[in-house]
C-alpha cells in the first residue's frame, strides 16, 4: 500500500505533532510506501505551494490512500480526491471537530473512507453533530515514548513540586495553569515549600503567554513559587517529570493529552479535568484524579490529597500507573492498532 500523507508543520511542538510523527513512523515500519507533504508555514505562498505539491504527488506517486493529518486540509484533500478518485482518511484530534461550522468540512468528513479519532470524548462530540460518521470511525489514540519517560529516583529537593506541560500560547489558557496559580495561596498554607513549574514551547507566530502568566502569579501573590520554563529538549522534559511530585493540568479543551501519558510513564500522580478528553487519557479516573477544572477549591483539594499521600493507593503507585498505562497506550499497542488500520484500508 502507498499513502500520501498531508501534515502540518513538524517544527511545531505539541501533542498533535508528536502524534503525527508517531503515526508516520509506524506506517513506515509496517511496510507502507509513504510520501509526506508538509505545510511549512501559514503565509499564503506557502499554502499555495503545499496544495501544488499535494496535487503533483498524487499524480506521480499514485498513492492508494490519502491521509489528512488535520481537518483544515479538507478542501485540499477533497480537491485531490475529485481530481484523482483516490480515497482519503481524515485524522481528528480535539476542538477542531467539536463544533463544526463549515459545510466544506462536514462534506469532507462524510466522503472520507475512514475518520481517525483519539478519544471517545471527541468521537461523541462529532457523532452528535453527524451521526452518519459513526460507521466509518477508527480508534487510534496516541502512544507514549516509554523508553524516554521512565521511573527514576527523584532528586533530593526541599520543595513540593507541581508540574504542567503545555504550549504557552495566549489562546491556550484553557490548559488550566491559571487555575492552579489561583490555588497556590491556599496551598502555601499547607505547604510553605510548594513550587509550580510550567514547561512549554513558545511559538512566536501564535504569541507568547509567558509574561501574562508571570503577571498573573504576581497578582495572586504567588510569583516566588511559579517558575515558567520555555521549550526544553526531550531529555530535559523527562527530567522535569522526574522532578515533580504531581502532574496537574485541569484543562477544559483537551482532545486527549499526551502529556498525561508521559507523566504516568514517569510514575507520577496525575490530576486532570473531567470535562474533556483528559478523561480518556486517564481511563475515566482509573489512572488519575479527575476534578472540575473550573473549581479552584477542588483542584487544590486534589493536590493536597496527593502531596499528603491521602489519595487512593493505586493513584500513588508509580509502578502500577506506568504498567497499566503502557498496556493501553504503549508503543507496541499503537503499532498494533496501525497495522489493523492498514488492514482495514486494504480490505474496504
Q: What is the CATH number of domain 160-328?
A: 3.40.50.2000
In angstroms, rounded to a whole number, what is the distance separating the alpha carbons of residues 205 and 213? 18
In angstroms, rounded to a whole number, what is the distance separating the alpha carbons of residues 328 and 311? 23
**Sole residue written with cell 522526574:** 242
Would 2-143+330-347 and 160-328 be classified into the same CATH topology? yes
* Average pLDDT value for the chain: 93
Q: Are 88 and 65 in contact (CB under 8 A)?
A: yes
- At residue 194, does pLDDT exceed 80? yes
Most distant CA atoms of the chain, gap in Å = 66
- At residue 206, does pLDDT exceed 70? no
Three-state secondary structure of 96-108: HHCCCCCHHHHHH
User: DSSP for 119-138?
Assistant: -HHHHHHHHHH-GGGGGGEE
Architecture of the domain spanning 2-143+330-347: 3-Layer(aba) Sandwich (3.40)
pLDDT-derived band at 204, boundaries 50, 70, 90: low
Question: Looking at residue 78, what is its pLDDT?
Answer: 87
* Domain extent listing, the chain: 2-143+330-347, 160-328
What would the pLDDT profile of 19-28 be if each residue is shown by its tens digit? 999 999 999 9
In angstroms, rounded to a whole number, what is the distance separating the alpha carbons of residues 89 and 74? 10
What would the pLDDT profile of 227-260 be if each residue is shown by its tens digit? 999 889 999 999 999 999 999 999 999 999 999 9
CA angle 139, 278, 14 (to 5 degrees): 80
Amino acid at each position: 500500500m502507498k499513502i500520501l500523507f498531508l501534515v502540518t508543520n513538524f517544527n511545531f511542538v505539541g501533542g498533535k505533532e508528536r502524534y503525527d510523527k508517531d503515526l508516520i513512523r509506524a506506517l513506515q515500519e509496517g511496510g507502507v510506501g509513504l510520501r509526506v507533504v508538509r505545510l511549512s508555514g501559514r503565509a499564503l505562498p506557502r499554502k499555495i505551494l503545499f496544495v501544488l505539491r499535494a496535487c503533483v504527488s498524487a499524480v506521480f506517486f499514485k498513492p492508494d490512500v490519502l491521509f489528512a493529518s488535520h481537518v483544515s486540509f479538507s478542501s485540499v484533500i477533497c480537491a485531490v480526491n475529485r481530481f484523482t478518485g483516490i480515497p482519503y482518511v481524515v485524522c481528528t484530534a480535539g476542538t477542531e471537530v467539536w463544533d463544526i461550522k463549515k459545510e466544506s468540512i462536514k462534506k469532507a468528513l462524510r466522503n472520507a473512507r475512514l475518520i481517525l479519532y483519539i478519544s471517545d470524548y471527541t468521537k461523541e462530540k462529532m457523532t452528535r453533530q453527524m451521526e452518519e460518521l459513526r460507521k466509518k470511525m477508527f480508534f487510534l489514540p496516541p502512544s507514549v515514548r516509554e523508553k524516554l519517560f521512565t521511573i527514576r529516583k527523584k532528586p533530593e529537593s526541599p520543595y513540593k513540586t507541581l508540574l504542567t506541560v503545555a504550549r504557552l500560547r495566549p489562546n491556550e489558557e484553557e490548559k488550566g495553569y491559571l487555575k492552579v496559580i489561583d490555588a497556590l495561596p491556599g496551598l502555601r498554607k499547607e505547604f510553605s515549600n510548594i513550587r509550580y513549574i510550567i514547561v512549554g514551547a513558545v511559538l512566536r507566530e501564535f504569541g507568547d503567554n509567558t509574561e501574562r502568566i508571570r503577571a498573573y502569579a504576581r497578582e495572586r501573590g504567588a510569583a516566588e513559587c511559579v517558575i515558567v520554563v520555555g521549550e526544553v529538549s526531550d531529555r530535559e522534559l523527562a527530567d522535569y517529570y522526574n522532578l515533580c511530585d504531581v502532574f496537574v493540568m485541569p484543562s477544559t479543551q483537551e482532545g486527549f493529552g499526551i502529556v498525561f501519558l508521559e507523566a504516568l510513564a514517569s510514575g507520577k500522580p496525575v490530576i486532570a479535568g473531567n470535562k474533556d478528553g483528559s478523561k480518556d487519557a486517564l481511563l475515566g479516573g482509573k489512572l488519575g484524579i479527575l476534578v472540575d477544572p473550573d473549581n479552584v477549591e477542588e483542584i487544590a483539594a486534589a493536590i493536597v490529597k496527593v502531596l499528603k499521600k491521602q489519595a487512593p493507593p493505586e493513584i500513588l503507585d508509580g509502578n502500577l500507573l506506568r504498567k497499566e498505562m503502557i498496556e493501553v497506550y504503549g508503543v507496541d499497542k499503537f503499532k498494533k492498532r496501525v497495522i489493523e488500520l492498514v488492514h482495514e484500508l486494504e480490505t474496504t
